[in-house]
Amino acid sequence: MALWGGRFTQDSDVRFKHFNDSLRFDYRLFHEDVEGSRAWAQALAQVKVLSEQECASLIQALNELEQEMTGRELEIAAAGDEDIHSYVERRLIEKVGALGKKLHTGRSRNDQVALDLKLFCRGACDDLMQAVRHLQRELLKVADENQGVIFPGYTHLQRAQPVTFAHFCLAYLQMLDRDFVRLNNVRDLLNICPLGSAALAGTAYPIDREALAKNLGFKGATHNSLDAVSDRDHVMELLSCASISMVHLSRLAEDLIIYNSGEANFLELSDKVTSGSSLMPQKKNPDACELIRGKAGRVVGSLMGILTTVKALPLAYDKDLQEDKEGLFDALDTWHECLDMMALVFEGIKLNKAKIEAAAKGGYSNATELADYLVSKGVPFREAHDIVGQVVLYAIAQNKALEELSVEEFKRFKDVIAEDVYPILSLESILAKRDVLGGVAVNQTKAEIEALKQQLLA
Ligand code: ARG
């Protein structure tokens, strides 16, 4: 039975009912709805709308209902009520009779759903922060194990300068750290309680809304009822966090796909996160990474969805706002799954060190060092750059690396080049010179890893 039958003389068309009902997705707010209802019962008792005895009976029935239905959420979804608020109220009335009908005094589904969704978002922030940390710890482990593994660094997907695999892992760890902080900020900003705003104008009962807010773990209560029932900033912000983080995960997936390709062959993804081809027996496809990359699109789509839904909505609540949930649930599930999946990918990652070293050595990634060497011998940088360009052209024609050229060959381009050039061209020396905060020098990475261990593993 709907919560609003009195004013109607005809039943809803079944097609409209299906179109309008939200229980098949907002069943996910069951626990939040029960939690909010318990707090509302207490608030009503404080203003004597309910006796202490009535309040206790309602809370007991809500506890029973919660216990009974935990783990049976799909049954709730199929119960046929209009939405989760109608479901909880119906079940409550079944348990305590007429008393159940008192709980909705001074409350509207508008402030109720606003509350439920904020509670849900708050819990989701906590869960997702955990998941981000879990992936960060996996990245840290792999970084720690590969501190000295010299890896080709790219710009424009052209080999540029050598880095280490640890430094590569820590780059993504930094991005995830910002994702973590963003989640924490969203959690903080949303943590203001809308309950007591009623339909749009505020409840007509003298509820102590600050006390109610504290009871539900909020920092305080909202200051404008029109805003409180129609605010979905937290949905937009959470989806924005999800989108940015999915973009990070997608870039990481793309890097791994490239490094795992037959052409690069820098690393091998574990059998646990790859699949085969039904036709080509030799294939081992990086499906986990491809799906992460693909799912980024869907999460960004949900962000666009909510922004577009809320844009141009008149105050206060409009039914359009019911569209806030499916995209949110789907995007957060997807993000969480992708964080976990990427952690699994890193758990089984194997580096092909010989191939990596050969690639880091090739591609003339020590050309900048040669230019700096000339600068140290008094050649102006612009001229040094030009000379090294010519040396590289010559070396390519000879099919040799820079360090394979003889001193005589070097001297054809600039006679200041001597035997002392060779140590400068080594990969180890290139790394060691970048001994600056955030640079690739192995001791910098080591210090960073130790600091991160303190932060993430303590
Ligand atoms: N199912 C609704 C939603 O998700 C609950 C609020 C309904 N409010 C109303 N006035 N019809 O937004």
Residue pLDDT, tens place only, 424-446: 999 999 999 999 999 999 999 99
- 277 as an active site residue: the answer is yes
pLDDT digits (tens, 9 = 90+) for 142-198: 999 999 999 999 999 999 999 999 999 999 999 999 999 999 999 999 999 999 999
From the CA of 49, how far away is ligand 1's center (Å)?
Answer: 24
Count helices and strands in the chain by DSSP H and E runs: 20, 6
Quickly state the pLDDT bin for 282 (edges 50, 70, 90).
Answer: confident
Query: pLDDT tens digits for 214-251?
Result: 999 999 999 999 999 999 999 999 999 999 999 999 99
Q: Is 156 a residue of the active site?
A: yes
Q: Could you tell me the sign of the dihedral formed by the alpha carbons of 157, 161, 162, 167, in that order?
A: negative
Please state the length of the chain. Answer: 458
Q: What is the mean pLDDT of the chain?
A: 96
Ligand 1 contact via 321 beta carbon (within 6 Å): yes
- The 10s digit of each residue's pLDDT in 285-319 is 999 999 999 999 999 999 999 999 999 999 999 99
Mutate-to-test residue for ligand 1 from 12, 16, 22, 33, highest number of ligand atoms within 8 A of CB: 22
Residue with tokens 């909202």: 222
Contact call for residues 207 and 46 (beta carbons, < 8 A):
yes
- Residue 21 CA to residue 13 CA, distance in Å, equals 12
Q: Is the pLDDT of residue 1 over 70?
A: no
pLDDT of residue 320 exceeding 80, the answer is: yes
Q: How many A from CA of 335 to the centre of ligand 1?
A: 26
Q: Which of 261, 277, 376, 429 is catalytic?
A: 277
pLDDT at position 131: 98
For residue 5, pLDDT over 90 is answered with no
Distances (CA, A) of 378 to 38, 124, 373, 374: 79, 60, 9, 7
Atom of ligand 1 minimally distant from the CA of 319? 12
Position in ligand 1 atom list of the atom nearest CA 26: 4
Q: How far is CA 398 from CA 357, 358, 391, 404, in A?
A: 21, 18, 10, 10
User: Is there an atom of ligand 1 within 6 Å of 235 CB?
Assistant: no
Report H helices in 153-286.
165-190, 209-215, 225-230, 233-260
Decide whether any atom of ligand 1 lies within 6 Å of the 109 Cβ. Answer: yes
**Residue 22 Cβ < 6 Å to ligand 1:** yes
* Cα-to-centroid distance, 200 and ligand 1 (Å): 12
Mean pLDDT across 244-271 = 96
120 CA from centroid of ligand 1 (Å): 16
Give 268-272's long-range contacts (Cβ < 8 A, gap of 24+): 268/349, 268/350, 268/352, 269/345, 269/348, 269/349, 270/345, 270/347, 270/348, 270/349, 270/350, 271/348, 272/344, 272/348
Task: List, as one string, the DSSP characters of 347-364.
Answer: HT-EE-HHHHHHHHHSTT
For ligand 1, atom 7, the nearest C-alpha belongs to 109
26 lines ligand 1 (CB under 6 A): yes
Separation of alpha carbons 135 and 249, rounded Å? 10
Question: Is 113's C-beta closer than 6 angstroms to any atom of ligand 1?
Answer: yes
Work out the pLDDT band at 2, boundaries 50, 70, 90. Answer: confident
Instruction: With a cut of 90, say whether residue 281 has pLDDT above it.
Output: no
110 C-beta closer than 6 A to ligand 1:
yes
Query: What is the rounded CA–CA span in Å between residue 23 and residue 321?
Result: 14
State yes or no: pLDDT of 19 exceeds 90. Answer: yes
> Ligand 1 mean position to 143 CA, how many Å?
48
Answer yes or no: is the C-beta of 83 below 6 A from any ligand 1 atom: yes
For the stretch 24-64, pLDDT in tens is: 999 999 999 999 999 999 999 999 999 999 999 999 999 99
Per-residue confidence (pLDDT) for residue 346, from 0 to 100: 97
**21, 29, 111, 113: residue to mutate for ligand 1 pocket, most atoms within 8 A of CB:** 113
Q: How far is the CA of 232 from the centre of ligand 1 (A)?
A: 13
CA of 321 to the centre of ligand 1 (A): 8
The catalytic position among 156, 197, 223, 429 is 156
In a mutational test of the pocket of ligand 1, which residue from 8, 107, 110 has the highest number of ligand atoms less than 8 Å from its CB? 110
Which residue minimizes the CA distance to atom 3 of ligand 1? Answer: 322
The distance of Cα 22 from the centroid of its chain, to the nearest Å, equals 26
Cis amide bond preceding 316, omega within 30: yes
Between the CA of 110 and the centroid of ligand 1 the distance, in Å, is: 6
Cα separation of 403 and 422, whole Å? 6
